[in-house]
A and B are shown apart, each in its own frame.
Chain A
Amino acid sequence: MPTFPSVEWFNAIKDLVNSDPAFRQLGTVDSVVGVKVGNKVYELTFEAFECTNVREATENALRDMDFWLEQPYDKWQEMLQNIKRNGAADLQHTLNTIDLNMPDGFARSHDGYRRDAFYRFNQSIQDFFNASAKIDTQFAEPAAVA
């Protein structure tokens, strides 16, 4: 059972979406997306019709990404548990809704143009996280990401 957050967990999701024809049907995605969970940073690379790479990164690397997703650890847990429970994010837990509910935003970027990739590829990124409903996730102890 992969642990969130970890490269192993993101790779499990990557394998799921890359073998899912429905993900391909959403169209091309070309974006480098960061995921920041506490002190952990992960870089997801999407190219053409698939997620091509997952790696652990540093805070400095965020500057080179199109945008990154950041929220408190308990909110990450809530989002993923909601997805698991419903098979996909419900109306209150979509990436866009979370983004609008956070004063500093969920999708962040140092670049006013590249941040719009969050909107351009929104459904694909959403489906990436929705795929986590298909695996059993073990959550890391909060102290491990604090």
Chain B
Amino acid sequence: MANETVPVSIPDNLAAKAREKGWPLDLVQQALAAGAQPAQIIQYMDQGVTADQARQFLAAQAGGGKELSEEIRAKAEASAWPIELVQAAVNMGAAEGDLMRFMEMGVTAEQARQFMAQGGQAQLDLSWMNVPTEWNTRARPTKHGLTLDAINIGKYGEVPDVWEHQTEMPRGAFPIPGVEGMGYSIYQKQEVWSDACAPLYEESIQRRWRPATDVPWTTIEPLDDDLERGACQVMTYLSEKAQLEADVLGRWEPEISYGYHEVKLYLATVIFEGARAVEVFRKRALSNGGGLGIQSPGWSHRSVIDARNFSEMATVQMVLQDSLTLAEYQFGEMYAHNAAEKFIFTRAMQDKARHLAYGVSHLKYVLLRRDDRREEMQRYLDKGETALLMDDRKDHATRPAWAIYFGGGTANIGEGLRVYNQMRRRFIEQYLARLKWATLDRGERLLPGLRAFIDSE
């Protein structure tokens, strides 16, 4: 390749692309003179190679190649790669880091020579190797291992307030034009974000459990028929609720754009944990001579499914509804009739507390950034609480079933109802405490039907 400018004609489409991408025409001429094909140059431009990068590349070619570092010289000697071969590869555009990696992988000099003889990048298009993403990223494992937070470094850790891409391009990758949109609808960070997402995801993965083999199923012994019926109705209800949460989140998952992958990953674990809860409560119902009970009226289900935006869903499902579910798991653990049920409720409690941690911290994130959404969130909770109270009125099975479970049978159902009211009181107290942490004062807005549980004692 010569240093002097050779007059080479530039095809019209290439000239137009060069103007669009800010490549001077003399640079394009230089590239053509060096043997590059017009289509290849257009491809480089579309991949985001800048004029400066191209100029540097051509200058390196013209000067007989970059000087090799001491590191690659030593590595080449150790790997029995002749230095001329390494220099030739670098002149063809290979990065030193890649070549050293090939050496470490055991690629022999002969293999490299054959690859280059085939034309190297001339036949295999390796232009993607010049992608201008952030390179030399070296995430290090922490005490928790190589976590999502640990790899969120440099540009890869920058989470934009608004995500501009409609495709599945990973955050930090380089976009290419022409890719079809994936139909996401959520592009704003405040609509889905919580700083707790990444650690909650890791916690969920680390604290996973397996119903089939971890639960001490053999500790379950026959219960009196009325108690078994109560237990099975409770399990039916809890299994149904868990399925709803998994279904609802499954619908929202594809709405969230890829810029917020920490949220998508965490919600994937919530969906999985919903599935696990469906599984484990169903298994308990079908493991001790009983069966499933009747379904729920489903008023609360609709309040979640009908949510029109993500924060509405998250607030109603993962703050209001999950506060109730966590209280149910707490009392389920306390009144468990065997070690298997104790185990199930303890582990389900851990999962549910994580769901709440996301819901509450997301709500706080929204409210601290969008004060104008406070009343909106209050209204979602108005609706959610109303539906919950409607379930209380229409559901003739769940309350007595819990009372039988707590009381140990129908003979002691009065005591069971007292415990049931305690459970609801605890739910409301913890629900209000969590909202307060999220900076939402629900004290005056709490619906009277729910307030009755905390005013009664």
Contact = CB atoms under 8 A, between A and B. Distances in A.
B423 to A, nearest CB: 9
Interface in B302-351: 326, 330-331, 333-334, 336, 339, 342, 346-347, 349-350
B360 A47 contact: no
A13 to B, nearest CB: 20
Majority SS at the chain B contact face? helix
A26 B203 CA distance: 10
Interface residues of B, number: 37
Interface in B120-176: 142-144
A96 B333 contact: yes
Interface in B354-386: 354, 356-357, 360-361
A122 B357 contact: no
Contacts of B426: 100
A126 B206 CA distance: 17
A91 B332 CA distance: 11
Interface in B171-191: none
B352 interface: yes
B424 interface: no
A112 B436 CA distance: 7
Interface residues of A, number: 26
Given A47-B143, A91-B342, A122-B346, A28 B353 contact: no
A87 interface: no
B339 A116 contact: no
A120 interface: yes
A123 B144 contact: no
Contacts of B350: 119-123
Interface in A55-90: none
B347 A100 contact: no
Given A26-B207, A30-B199, A100-B331, A113 B347 contact: no
Contacts of A100: 330-331, 334, 422, 426
B143 A119 contact: no
Contact of B333 (A27, A28, A94): A94
B367 to A, nearest CB: 13
B430 A112 contact: yes
Contacts of A99: 330
Q: Return the 3 tightest CB-CB contacts between A and B, nearest first.
A: A112-B433, A27-B207, A119-B353
Interface of A: 26-28, 30, 47-49, 91, 94, 96-97, 99-101, 111-113, 115-117, 119-123, 126
Given A119-B349, A123-B346, 14 more contacts: A27-B206, A28-B144, A28-B206, A30-B199, A47-B143, A94-B346, A96-B334, A100-B426, A113-B360, A113-B361, A116-B353, A116-B434, A119-B330, A119-B353
15 contacts: A94-B342, A96-B346, A96-B349, A100-B334, A112-B433, A112-B434, A113-B357, A113-B360, A113-B361, A113-B434, A116-B353, A116-B434, A119-B349, A122-B349, A122-B350
